[in-house]
Structure 1
């Protein structure tokens, strides 16, 4: 398999599957492009006037009820590995919500201990540690403080996820195959340029910076990766977990909570946008951007 396809696939698997597998082991601006039928952008690379990458950014998109503007739901985008300053900022942001819904495939009501779950010796742990060291970044589960009382678990249990996957015939091998196919299509379009860029980054003096820029460029195409995972009928990993999360969202709204955040991987949000607009009658109001990866040093 070409180098570019291998690393793109590895990145997609780590970013999209890591939280689920971990659980199994233990300045504000309005967005004029946002329409009812078109999701806002939730992940982007910011660039300077010369086109040089400055940061990989995740969005906080606010949705409100036109008939009751006091009710707001923020989709708070996440990447599962990022800068320490990014997670410090998120911890501050989370204090602003009456309820902060978060993802982790774990038994109902799970609360992640400060510092993250106990570290294991699985293949997933090895991949994550390698990714962390390669890019000089931190893990979300280790840096986000999930212990405050306003944090609310909003995800499937391992049993629910396994049952849904079995019912749908939606195993990890099937999703792996979809991502692999998407990677091969991209490879055929882009030729060998990415392979050369990967080799150059691996042997560069500023290897961490070059690798971050390269991986960020792949994450910037998150929509295509999510379409590959979802297929034509959705998937357990994205749409079905989103449905579970929004059952919890409905419970929190019914309980009288008015300021709610939903902290999930950015790849979940195109589907969540549609649910908020179509099922909850909310509309996107504004977008703020946080720097997840510094692409300048």
Structure 2
């Protein structure tokens, strides 16, 4: 029985890791740079780490990193990484950090794809809510926050519930005057994919859009595969021990993610292409919004890029190479943890899970 529980926990973790990589932890390809710049390898510290807050507690921590221009001139730019599932205290601390910024550029593909969302070009960078006195004569319709109905059926929402955690979209209040959607809609991504020159010759526009649609339906739980995994994930919530095993496996897995995860071994070429398109264009949209803000006569004094932790390595590379910003302080927030003793996990089981995760990650990571 214990062996079956461990396998179930590990299987759920691997699935979530794949989803995490494709839907949220995407790493962008930086635009072309001069040869001298390309030859320099930037040392980028991780945005996720595993710590032991006590001898029996294993914890996943997520970084918030500040960037400024040399000499401290101009606005501070924060890379505010986020875990899409976590404990309520984590999101409370994260909300406090975000509310302290003058502008928050947030991730939200589904929000931009909803029928109530504004036209793509008009909406990008538009505030979620703005006092009437400050609105221009003909403002773009405000970008909607993430859709509440969609999050209730998503794989991530189901996993959060099963692990006794909360889902980011339910824990963070996006209805702030300083929050602006900085992402692409599904429709925009489809158009980009149809005209992507880097796709394999056998990847037709219909095939590419089918891949994107399949990925979205798995993540929102509307497809057969999505519903099947949701059913499996719900089993976790029936056992505190299984919750503990899954939390541990997930913490150890996310804590080891490094490098370009779009190049994970075992991904079919067409899926690698899909992920690269998602990554390049979504990150490019954020950088476009950021540069537009920085070019203003009076830009926001502090700006946060609020995206999944896996985006951040590439964002840091872009900030340092394109904008010449320098990293400063890093704040670490505990996202979620597992108490091995309370979960009833032995030292043998703990080391076995860690060994399984390490072995698997060595195989799939580039």
Give the shorter-chain TM-score range: 0.7 to 0.9
Q: How does 1:251-262 map to 2 (within 5 A)?
A: 251-255=292-296, 256-262=299-305
- Per-residue deviation, 1:70: 4.5
Match of 1:198 in 2: none
Give me the whole-angstrom Cα distance separating, in 1, the residues matched to 2:53 and 2:210: 39
- Cα deviation digits, residues 194-231 of structure 1 (max 9, x gap): xxxxxxx9997533222111111111232257243695
Match of 1:290 in 2: 333
Q: For 2:251, what is the secondary structure of its paired residue?
A: helix
Query: Any stretches of 5+ residues in structure 1 without a counterpart?
Result: 21-34, 178-200
Whether the 8 Å CA contact 1:111–1:147 is kept in 2: the answer is no
Query: Any stretches of 5+ residues in structure 2 without a counterpart?
Result: 1-6, 26-39, 113-119, 127-141, 200-207, 216-235, 265-270, 343-366
Match of 2:345 in 1: none
Match of 2:258 in 1: 223
* Number of aligned positions between the proteins: 255
- Cα deviation digits, residues 240-262 of structure 1 (max 9, x gap): 21111010011111222231111
- Per-residue deviation, 1:294: 2.3
Give me the whole-angstrom Cα distance separating, in 2, the residues matched to 1:40 and 1:85: 25
Give me the whole-angstrom Cα distance separating, in 1, the residues matched to 2:24 and 2:274: 23
Q: For 1:291, what is the secondary structure of its paired residue?
A: strand
TM-score (norm 2): 0.60
- Cα deviation digits, residues 126-169 of structure 1 (max 9, x gap): 53343122211111111111111111111112222112233334
Q: Cα distance 1:139–1:205, how it changes in 2: closer, same or farther (>3 A)?
A: closer
Q: Does 1:210 align with 2:257?
A: no
The structure in which a higher percent of residues are strand is 1
Of structures 1 and 2, the larger Rg is shown by 2
Q: For 2:195, what is the secondary structure of its paired residue?
A: helix
Q: What is the CA RMSD across the aligned residues, in angstroms?
A: 3.5
Give me the whole-angstrom Cα distance separating, in 2, the residues matched to 1:65 and 1:100: 19
- Alignment equivalent of 1:149, drawn from 163, 171, 177: 177
Match of 2:279 in 1: 238
Whether the 8 Å CA contact 1:45–1:220 is kept in 2: the answer is yes
Match of 1:117 in 2: 147
- Per-residue deviation, 1:87: 1.0
- Per-residue deviation, 1:14: 3.5
Q: Does 1:99 align with 2:129?
A: no
Q: Does 1:44 align with 2:49?
A: yes
- Cα deviation digits, residues 86-129 of structure 1 (max 9, x gap): 1111111112111111011114346445xx523249xx925334
Q: How does 1:24-43 map to 2 (within 5 A)?
A: 37-43=42-48
Give me the whole-angstrom Cα distance separating, in 1, the residues matched to 2:287 and 2:69: 16
